[in-house]
Structure 1
Amino acid sequence: MASTTAPQQAAPASPGPLKRIILIAVIALIAAAAAGAGVWFFMSRHAPVASSTEAAPAAPTVPLFFPLESMTVNLQSDDGQQHFLRIGLTLKLGDATTQQALTDHMPEVRSRILLALSNKHPEELAPLEGKRALAEELKTLIAEPTDRGAAPLRVQDVLFTEFVVQ
């Protein structure tokens, strides 16, 4: 009798532990390369471009507020009564050099302010427009140069922090 043998099928060989380690290392290497490429792509894309045709926008300047000591002044009066003004001022300045110039000449600046305020009547200062006009007048007075031939000081605004007429 003749016997035929059926071809035997080869059992699938399970990958060895060395092949698994190599496969995991290759996947980790590919993932690290992809992450590095992504970081490089996004960082180079958002990097500031320095070109001569584009002007960099100027950063807005932060105003410098310079408070003055409160002052009390006798006001002019036509009715024979004593009227007083207690005023607190803060100056809005553009730069520190103006602040230093004001600090150096503060007695002179205060004298100008006191002389201007002592010539006012309570009726002038009561309405809102009177206060606004006073702020503009004080701004002009304070900006006047303290030294001959010097440039005027750059005072942006005069702000009232205290204003009491009695």
Structure 2
Amino acid sequence: MLAVPVLLGVIGAGLWFTGILPRLLGHGTATQVHAVAAAPPVYIDVPEMVANLNGNPRRPSYVKLRAKLEVAGSADTGPVQAAMPRLIDLFQTHLRDMRPEEFRGSAGTYRLREELIARATLVAAPAHIQDVLFEELLVQ
């Protein structure tokens, strides 16, 4: 006897939270969600960089990096191109500060990517850098 009101309450709550009951009662208007077509990303080449790593002075290590910057649209390419000398300087400085052990594994590559995105976002301030894509990353 107690199960019937509990069952009706559960069914009513389910219909209410799924939005069926408010529409049947006329409490809300159906909203349509329009999908906005996103513009395809634009890729900007970063010139190839070779930097010596901070490590054993007897046996120097080097890193070679070729990358692309992914920006949201073509409107962001101008500020990024204008800031490219500063970007290269910041990337080179960061690479020279790293040790060869920091590049090991996918976690090392992920940390490098996140650090480069943060630096690029600071330098190309009005533009939004979505990602840094590595074309070539060699550590010797």
Fold match by TM threshold 0.5: yes
Richer in helix (by share): 2
Residue 117 of structure 2 aligns to a residue in which SS?
helix
Q: Structure 2, unaligned stretches of length 5 or more?
A: 1-30
* Residue 82 of structure 2 is aligned to residue 104 of structure 1: yes
Residue 60 of structure 1 aligns to a residue in which SS?
coil
Q: 2:46 aligns with which of 59, 68, 75?
A: 68
Residue 59 of structure 2 aligns to a residue in which SS?
coil
Q: Offset at 1:54?
A: 4.9
Displaced runs of 4+ in structure 1, greater than 4 A? Answer: 53-56
Equivalent positions of 1:69-148 (< 5 A) are 69-78=47-56, 80-145=58-123
Separation in structure 1 between the aligned mates of residue 94 and residue 126 of structure 2, nearest angstrom? 18
Cα distance per residue 1:122-165 (max 9 Å; x no partner): 1111221001000000000000045xxxx453111111000110
Q: Percent identity?
A: 25
TM-score by length of 1: 0.61
Larger Rg: 1
Separation in structure 2 between the aligned mates of residue 105 and residue 134 of structure 1, nearest angstrom? 20
Q: How many residues align?
A: 110
TM-score by length of 2: 0.72
Structure of greater relative contact order (alpha carbons < 8 Å, 6+ residues apart): 2
Name the counterpart of 1:154: 128
Q: Offset at 1:66?
A: 1.1
Richer in strand (by share): 2
